[in-house]
C-alpha cells in the first residue's frame, strides 16, 4: 500500500511539473518580427513554347523586419466552377518564390512575385507565407486572396 501511495504521489508530481506553456519561444523583440499587411494578385497571359498560360502576378506589403525572412512561399489553388465562396482554401501548389523586386519604405517592404501555375486557369485563389530566419518564429501567412474578386472591382 505504501508503494502505491509513493507511486501515485510521484505520478501527481510529474503531472504538475508538466503543466505550463507548451509552445516554442518567440523573440520578444518586435524588431525581429514581420507580418503581411496587404497583397494584390492579377492574372496575365504568358506564352511559353507557343502555348498561352495564365500566370499570377502578386504585389505584397510586409511590415516589420523583412530582412529576417528566410524564404517566401506562394500557395495557389486554381479557381474552378466547383469552388464555393465558403469552401476552405486547399492549395494544389506550394512553391518557394523569389521576389522580382523589393522596395523598402520605413517599416513597409513592398515586393512583387510572378508565378505560372501548372494548372492554368482564368482565376486563382492564393496566399503568401513567409518563414523567419529564427526557427522559433512560426510561418506568417497572408489572408487568402482571389483574383476573380480583384478583377470584378471597378
Q: 148: helix, coil or strand?
A: helix
Q: How far apart are CA 35 and CA 130, in angstroms?
A: 8
* pLDDT for position 142: 95
CATH architecture of the domain 28-152 equals: Sandwich (2.60)
User: Is 117 in contact with 93 (CB distance < 8 Å)?
Assistant: yes
Sign of CA dihedral 50, 152, 83, 96: positive
Q: How far apart are CA 31 and CA 135, in angstroms?
A: 16
Q: 92: helix, coil or strand?
A: coil
- pLDDT tens-digit map of 62-86: 998 888 889 999 999 998 777 777 7
First vs last C-alpha separation in the chain: 79
Report domain extents, the chain. Answer: 28-152
Q: Is the model's pTM score more than 0.75? A: no
- pLDDT tens-digit map of 95-115: 999 888 889 888 899 999 999
Amino acid at each position: 500500500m505504501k508503494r502505491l501511495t509513493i507511486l501515485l504521489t510521484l505520478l501527481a508530481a510529474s503531472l504538475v511539473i508538466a503543466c505550463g506553456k507548451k509552445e516554442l519561444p518567440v523573440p520578444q523583440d518586435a524588431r525581429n518580427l514581420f507580418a503581411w499587411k496587404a497583397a494584390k494578385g492579377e492574372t496575365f497571359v504568358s506564352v511559353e513554347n507557343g502555348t498561352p498560360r495564365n500566370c499570377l502576378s502578386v504585389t505584397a506589403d510586409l511590415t516589420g523586419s523583412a530582412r529576417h525572412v528566410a524564404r517566401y512561399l506562394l500557395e495557389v489553388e486554381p479557381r474552378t466552377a466547383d469552388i464555393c465562396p465558403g469552401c476552405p482554401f486547399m492549395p494544389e501548389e506550394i512553391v518557394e518564390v523569389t521576389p522580382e523586386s523589393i522596395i523598402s519604405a520605413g517599416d513597409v517592404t513592398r515586393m512583387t512575385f510572378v508565378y505560372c501555375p501548372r494548372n492554368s486557369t482564368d482565376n486563382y485563389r492564393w496566399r503568401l507565407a513567409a518563414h523567419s530566419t529564427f526557427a522559433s518564429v512560426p510561418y506568417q501567412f497572408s489572408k487568402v486572396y482571389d483574383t476573380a474578386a480583384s478583377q470584378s472591382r471597378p
